[in-house]
Amino acid sequence: MKQIDVCLTPELLHLHRMDNTIVVVADVFRATSCMVTAFAYGVDCIIPVATIDECRLWQERGYLAAAERNARKVDGFELDNSPFTYMQEMIRGEKVAMTTTNGTYAITRSRSAVKVLVGSFLNLEAIARYLRSEPYDVLVLCAGWKGKVNLEDTLFAGALVDRMKSHFMTAEDSALMAWRLYQQGKDNLLSYLANSSHIRRLQRLGIQRDITYCLQHDLYDVIPVLRGSSLVSMEL
């Protein structure tokens, strides 16, 4: 039977094998939710980069630049890391360079996997359906916060385990823990997350609307997949 495992932060990635495995990266507040939204609204590709400077270089080559550092937009860039930024006609067909605090790091760390997919609650069922149809094991990689675990990405992992559990084995406790937390919180994720560290940070920044949006399940039938160093939309 295929196996699904959960890596609670990129700091633990070296403990997981990547061969024969599809990695699903989640940074639900807000990088991967932005990416999924961007593809749902027709961007051509997204190149995840590590630094603001690298983002500027791509901007000079005609990419739209999107960046966040500590949950705030960077001066001079076209896009910030609110998913609502990507809901506009002007982004259709465009190339985007995006750097985020945690999500980009998680994606670039996963390159040796069979495939790297971008997951969020917004495309949960699209991801689950695809993984069920593939012969590979699955590793959900939570982007976390500066190396530490966070509740929202863990809940996404639990939601994906929940959708997969009749088709996959869970070998490790992290998958079990994520699934149990999701079971406990799924009826009202927003209030379940109310005391989490990231929600407290984001609420100080006044982006409650983003949070509510990012917690919606199955809004888009879109799967961003890493090809070379760019994310593109998988043909479904």
Among 56, 109, 163, 198, which residue sits at the site for its own copies (rule: CB under 8 A)?
A: 198
Site for its own copies in 208-227 (CB under 8 A): none
In the complex, least distance from residue 160 CB atom to its own copies, rounded to whole angstroms: 17
In the complex, least distance from residue 169 CB atom to its own copies, rounded to whole angstroms: 11
Residue closer to its own copies by CB (options 15, 57) is 15
Q: 102 in helix, strand or coil?
A: coil
Separation CA 151–CA 129 (nearest Å) = 24
Among 149, 225, 232, 234, which residue sits at the site for its own copies (rule: CB under 8 A)?
A: 149
Residue closer to its own copies by CB (options 10, 48) is 10
In the complex, least distance from residue 115 CB atom to its own copies, rounded to whole angstroms: 23
Taking Cα atoms as reference points, which of 201, 146, 140 lies closest to residue 18? 140
Among 108, 196, 216, 230, which residue sits at the site for its own copies (rule: CB under 8 A)?
A: 196
Q: How many residues bind its own copies (CB under 8 A)?
A: 27
In the complex, least distance from residue 103 CB atom to its own copies, rounded to whole angstroms: 16
- How far is residue 41 from each of residues 45, 88, 117, measured CA to CA in Å? 11, 7, 18
Joined tokens for residue 36: 């999924």
Q: 139 in helix, strand or coil?
A: strand
Residue closer to its own copies by CB (options 13, 232) is 13
Q: How far is CA 94 from the centre of its chain?
A: 20
Site for its own copies in 46-75 (CB under 8 A): none
Backbone phi, then psi, for 66, in 5-degree steps? -130, 130
Site for its own copies in 163-192 (CB under 8 A): 171-174, 176-177, 180-181, 184-185
In the complex, least distance from residue 162 CB atom to its own copies, rounded to whole angstroms: 14
23 binds its own copies (CB under 8 A): no
Strand (E) or helix (H) holding 64 = strand 64-69
Among 92, 111, 129, 146, which residue sits at the site for its own copies (rule: CB under 8 A)?
A: 146
In the complex, least distance from residue 154 CB atom to its own copies, rounded to whole angstroms: 7
Taking Cα atoms as reference points, which of 46, 51, 13 lies closest to residue 32? 46
In the complex, least distance from residue 146 CB atom to its own copies, rounded to whole angstroms: 7
- How far is residue 125 from each of residues 56, 57, 129, 131, 208, measured CA to CA in Å? 34, 35, 6, 10, 24
Q: 107 in helix, strand or coil?
A: helix
Buried b (16+ CB within 10 A) or exposed e, 124-162: bbbbbebbeeeebbbbbbbbbbeeebbbbbbbbbbbbbb
Q: Which residues of the chain form contacts with its own copies (CB under 8 A)? A: 8-9, 11-12, 15, 145-151, 154, 171-174, 176-177, 180-181, 184-185, 195-198
